Chain A
């Protein structure tokens, strides 16, 4: 093809995925531009709260020692909410350093600085409007001002990936394939957060709490809320399936407000002031609805490809590693001077060998199986747990045996047998998938 290339690789989107991809290409000695529509890196992005040490080190090596994080997250609580309280499980390891709480504005800024130091040409404030296709190959991009050419484009434009749609790599999304999430950043004094959550002053520990349903009004919606402690803010957010929200005519902000007025949450955020509100989608397309990952001259990675594990709140690590692998594949194509699907498919092979496609495969049915039992998870079991612990803790004047028998009787009576069997089937299918995964 007779094209005057401006660069070897163009990366679209400076989220964790695009930055990792661009860095990999630059380290391989090739010319790479990284294009971001936001004025400041990270300014279009939001998440729950934590990035993971292991994936960061794979991409940034020992630079991670200088990550300007706010707190290390090493206490995890899974909490099943009912109307008046909760049933909680906490795992804490005060010496672990697996996860860092850091705002996206600071995270992406730090990442972009490292990329620039390594030779990545970073172009902010620039929206890629379309891809240029010549003889079936993606050969460049269009912005409102100019065209820019490179033999490989790495598309890392996040969950909505308008570019993947333009390239016909996927169908239109269905509401069922998306979680809509909204979050509040709540400001509190650092000291208050530390005493409230029992944290040390040196930021070496922090808390992640995951809440499951439990609010009576929303019996049939599978929703998860989260809370992360930062230095002098708390992140409180909630996510629910977009189809569920649509069907029930529900607004996600209303659910946040509901969560904020739950008796378990009120004391945690008391006196706090909301300093930012944000919203974002989380893809649930997973393994079963994976888009085409490679076309001649282009590779799709990160959220744009639906690489995420929402059960474990993991996304940035999938983005970083898939970005790095996309960068490696681009280098391989450049070295062979061959940008066909055949050569670029080395990306897919690398993904298959990594945890990304293995886990995506393992979890291919799990989240939707859990959705199918929303009522059980968000309502029935949390309230049965409440009943059970009321017996254990109420010290009333009835014999324990009679109460437990009544509980057991009601447990089966309130749940028709067929629902019970459906629960058992769904949960054992999840367990089976976990154990038989790759």
Chain B
């Protein structure tokens, strides 16, 4: 089987999921803590590839609309920098076939 880049693979899989996307994010990172973070765990741990490091600024981009609401990032972040809530009622991921 052809080996796909993991980011591309996740993107393809995310396209199978139905979301009701909220206009506001339910995930926030504390940028000050992120700048000092050497692990950048969020950028590889998330099964939906929500977090991306912007190399020029060192900022973390949060694509909250892809979130599967698993909770892993919040627990895995070594600096407890992620404030993690559920999306507003009725918003977010909708699993129909799981």
Contacts and interface: CB of A to CB of B under 8 A. Distances in A.
B33 to A, nearest CB: 15
B21 interface: no
B98 A47 contact: yes
B85 interface: yes
Interface stretch (A91-99, A169-177, A289-297): A169-177
Interface string A268-296: 00000011111111000000000000000
A261 interface: yes
Which bucket holds chain B's interface residue count? 35 or more
A178 B47 CA distance: 14
Contacts of B17: 276-278
B30 to A, nearest CB: 15
Interface in B40-98: 41, 44-49, 68-72, 75-76, 78, 80, 85-86, 88-90, 92-98
Interface stretch (A182-190, A332-340, A361-369, A402-410): A182-190
A44 B69 contact: yes
Given A253-B10, A277-B17, A144 B75 contact: no
Contact of A45 (B9, B39, B98): B98
A109 to B, nearest CB: 11
A17 interface: no
A309 interface: no
B95 A276 contact: yes
A245 B89 CA distance: 31
Contact of A174 (B75, B88, B93): B75
Contacts of B78: 246
B10 A38 contact: no
A319 B67 CA distance: 25
A275 B47 contact: no
Given A173-B75, A242-B76, A260 B1 contact: yes
Interface in A32-63: 37-40, 42-47
Contacts of A242: 45, 72, 75-76
Given A44-B69, A160-B71, A276 B97 contact: yes
A245 B46 CA distance: 10
B75 A276 contact: no
Nearest to A157: B86
A180 B89 contact: no
Nearest to A178: B75
Q: Which 3 A-B pairs have the closest CB atoms?
A: A46-B98, A277-B13, A279-B47
